[in-house]
Structure 1
């Protein structure tokens, strides 16, 4: 995987403008984080079955979704019309699934990369070509049934998906990270690049993103996003004349 380090927002902009419209972006707070869905990460794969009641990770994942469907309806303003929509909503609200969040907006990805100013790690933005993935979800009833990495573009069923310009890769093996050595069923290698952002640059990135209207209040529509934004704005955003 090609990795480049950028040291300011100008370099980031220069890099992004060279990409074509097929590129999708994922921001991570630590450059060492791989492209592994939450359900496939170490904390889940090693701890999910301490009770011994689940046959395997898929069984556990199915249980989580059944429970989500039980408790979620009273909080939803929209009734999901398919299994895929249920999974999209669950993923966007933090449930561990085999879906991995991406966006078609590089500024949104940059926000997710630099938003945690308490972390001392260098951040990163992954870039991939969406045409490498199977998008024919109408052929599959559920994310649990995929037999390769799919890409899913959910309908605009909640404000977060709209605000974050979100879509998902759906992993047939959620414990296996996407890497550019892997191939799809057509034999094409996945295109991947990684843009790293040094820790000392994150504050300035976040300040500039705010000038572009990318902040907690726009990424997370609602009162929680507003309060998070106001706290950051009053404590940090006034630096270098941002406000």
Structure 2
């Protein structure tokens, strides 16, 4: 793990990483960064930390029913917006801008005494948010109970909805769907539909699942059907997301100085949180720190 104490050291280290720039109509190749202000925090999305995994679709549907006018976009954008307003989801925020990640690794007054960390995921295969693969995952997120999933039924419907990625015999379709469901973390590039995503060069990891068990039904109406029980994917290290993942340590003693350097080049609360509330907070702190008191 590389330790850095300034923006210059950080950018020198980043520049040594070999970045690729490949694009197709469905997949891009990007490097994602994630900054965390406490090195002890795990790489885990809010839904998986909050013991709400089995209630995922219920949370989403309830919120849509309460505020239908707020969620009129596609399902992925809806999930992003729900997370933005505080709902635990399986999304983990990342960025394509290394300085944005460095800001978040330093900026958290509650853990200023803790070392920060930047995770670097080089050259990830990244899905566009409008791809059929992302739509398939969103169908699960919004419609399925992870503890009782009839995959053959999902395959039958998905074969018609997503012919580019789900095709062949039902058994083949089922295997394809199971593959997509169990990707540990899928990298997704969102549409720039809100100011914060635009300002932060935002991107996301959709966390996947593992099969906990499966069983054959003995009920008269569904006898013989195989039902799957899923659990959250277990990410024990950043290499579970990307084999070439790297980490940069930001010592707690260097956080304040790095934040000053970031402010000088325009990476601050006012820039990264363009809503009025955050702009006001930035101005107040700036005035308190720099006002002239003497005559």
Which residue does the alignment assign to 1:193?
Answer: 246
The alpha-carbon deviation at position 117 of structure 1 amounts to 3.2
Q: Is this contact kept in 2: 1:135–1:150, CA < 8 A?
A: no
The alignment covers a number of residue pairs equal to 215
Name the structure with the higher strand share. Answer: 2
Which residue, 157, 162, 166 being the options, matches 2:193? Answer: 157
Which residue, 25, 38, 42 being the options, matches 2:46? Answer: 38
The aligned runs of 1:34-183 (5 Å cut-off) are 34-41=42-49, 44-45=50-51, 48=52, 57-58=53-54, 60-74=55-69, 76=70, 79-80=72-73, 82-119=74-111, 120-132=113-125, 137-139=131-133, 140-143=135-138, 144=140, 146-148=181-183, 149-173=185-209, 174=232, 176-177=234-235, 179-182=237-240
What TM-score, normalized to structure 2?
A: 0.66
Closer/same/farther in 2, CA of residues 104 and 72 from structure 1, 3 Å limit: farther
Which residue does the alignment assign to 1:18?
Answer: 16
Closer/same/farther in 2, CA of residues 158 and 61 from structure 1, 3 Å limit: same
Q: Deviations over 1:68-112 (max 9, x none)?
A: 3234455x5x841x2111112122333211110110001111111
Cα distance in 2 for partners of 1:36, 1:203 equals 26
Which residue does the alignment assign to 1:51?
Answer: none
Cα distance in 1 for partners of 2:121, 2:282 equals 29
The alpha-carbon deviation at position 30 of structure 1 amounts to 0.3
What TM-score, normalized to structure 1?
A: 0.78
Which residue, 31, 35, 44 being the options, matches 1:27? Answer: 35
Cα distance in 2 for partners of 1:153, 1:133 equals 6
Q: Please give the root-mean-square deviation of Cα atoms over the aligned residues, in Å.
A: 2.5
Cα distance in 2 for partners of 1:116, 1:217 equals 15
Cα distance in 2 for partners of 1:117, 1:167 equals 24
Closer/same/farther in 2, CA of residues 71 and 225 from structure 1, 3 Å limit: farther
Which residue, 200, 211, 218 being the options, matches 2:271? Answer: 218
Closer/same/farther in 2, CA of residues 103 and 214 from structure 1, 3 Å limit: same
Cα distance in 2 for partners of 1:202, 1:181 equals 26
Q: Is this contact kept in 1: 2:199–2:274, CA < 8 A?
A: yes
Give the match's secondary structure for 1:26. Answer: strand
Cα distance in 2 for partners of 1:216, 1:101 equals 17
Which residue does the alignment assign to 2:6?
Answer: 8
Q: Is this contact kept in 2: 1:27–1:109, CA < 8 A?
A: yes
Structure 1: segments with no counterpart, 5+ residues: 49-56, 184-188
Give the match's secondary structure for 1:131. Answer: strand
Cα distance in 1 for partners of 2:67, 2:191 equals 18
Cα distance in 2 for partners of 1:160, 1:5 equals 29
